Structure 1
Amino acid sequence: MANPSQTLHASFPSASFTRRLAAWVYDLLVATAIVMLASALALGFTALLTAAGIITLQGDMDHAGWLTSQPLYQVYLVLVVALFFGWFWWRSGQTIGMRAWRLKVQQRDGSRITPRQAVIRMVTALFGLGNLWVLVDFKNRRAWHDYAAGTELVTLSKEANQLYYWKEL
């Protein structure tokens, strides 16, 4: 028996620029909250290191000042955001914003994307600017990162969005 996502694949239209933008804004809010939580954890860890005498703060520097001066902290935040997007794209094809706007990233045949494709999408998305290509690519409505990763972003029907939601739980 065929996979339901592959059977229904032909009925899903490519996602419009407006839907992509709406999901991007929604996910930006979620990613901001995740960065705030990750920062709070890093601040707590920094305080523990200070209390243990492993690091010493100079002069009038506080924990946040010390933390933001560390290049590793910037890498940590980028990895946290990358894991957020990569995990959701790979596991269900939908981030929280994409689920709200009934969007799903998938391979061209309708199957789930691979972790490699998720990484390629992240690197080539240019913080969402790759979606501007949808305004030029009238025929396929695919973004730069879709072409680079061999993926597509489709708009699901309400029923299919519910099906994918319950299937992934």
Structure 2
Amino acid sequence: MACWMYEGMLMFGVVFLAGYLFSTLSQTRNALDNRHALQAFVFVIFGIYFVWFWAKGQTLAMKTWNIRVVDVHGAPITQKRALLRYAFSWLWFLPPLAASWIFALPGREGAVLTLGWVAIWAILARFHPQKQFWHDAFAGTRLITWVAPERPGRKGKPKPEAAGAAPSSQP
């Protein structure tokens, strides 16, 4: 969950840039103008962001927390599978958002419903045989702990001295 929170902070920057780009290109002056088009644009930008990075194995937050997304056999996922994972990951939010819209709930009640659903959805992972999130199970992916292998020659090698310079005697 810590990785998820960190990813949310990083996504703030993505949303900011996407919103700025959209409002500049569409000449939107009021935040409520073109609201649904902006939401669709941000949804597509999120899709591009996550599909791109998941197909590479990790987002920046996943790299920080040593998490990698792979298929059920441990192989890197394709862009198609990453897109499927992105679609299923919306199960974290779509049910409460749809209920809020259908029942015309005020913002505060919608937020409580959404937070409650996210907590329930996270707890439901405990009931999966491999203790993974259900959107990963549906998409045929899983998260693993993964540390990048050390590059050869990077650790323990002294820095070469500049050509013609005397070695320094300082500690």
Say yes or no: TM over 0.5: yes
Deviation at 1:36, TM superposition (A): 0.7
Instruction: Give distance in 2, aligned partners of 1:98 and 1:159.
Output: 12
State the one-letter code of the partner of 1:76. Answer: F
Instruction: Give distance in 2, aligned partners of 1:145 and 1:106.
Output: 13
Gaps of 5+ in 1: 1-20, 51-61, 164-169
SS of structure 2 residue aligned to 1:146: helix
Farther off after superposition, 117-126 or 128-137: 128-137
1:94-113 Cα shifts (integer Å, max 9, x gaps): 11111110000001222111
Instruction: Give distance in 1, aligned partners of 2:34 and 2:40.
Output: 12
Match of 2:74 among 104, 110, 131: 110
Does residue 136 in structure 1 map to residue 127 in structure 2?
yes
Does residue 44 in structure 1 map to residue 24 in structure 2?
yes
Rate the CA distance shift 1:36–1:159 in 2: closer, same or farther, 3 A. Answer: closer
Match of 2:6 among 23, 26, 40: 26
1:6-45 Cα shifts (integer Å, max 9, x gaps): xxxxxxxxxxxxxxx1111111111121011110111111
Q: Percent identity?
A: 27
Would you tell me which structure has more helix in proportion to its own residues?
Answer: 1
Match of 1:66 among 2, 27, 33: 33
Rate the CA distance shift 1:42–1:159 in 2: closer, same or farther, 3 A. Answer: closer
More contact order relative to length (CA 8 Å, sep ≥ 6): 1
Does residue 78 in structure 1 map to residue 43 in structure 2?
yes
1:52-82 Cα shifts (integer Å, max 9, x gaps): xxxxxxxxxx4433232xx222111111111
Instruction: Give distance in 2, aligned partners of 1:121 and 1:146.
Output: 6
Gaps of 5+ in 2: 94-117, 152-171
The RMSD of aligned alpha carbons is 2.2
Structure with larger Rg: 2
Does residue 89 in structure 1 map to residue 57 in structure 2?
no
Match of 2:92 among 127, 131, 138: 127
SS of structure 1 residue aligned to 2:32: helix
Give the count of matched residue pairs.
124
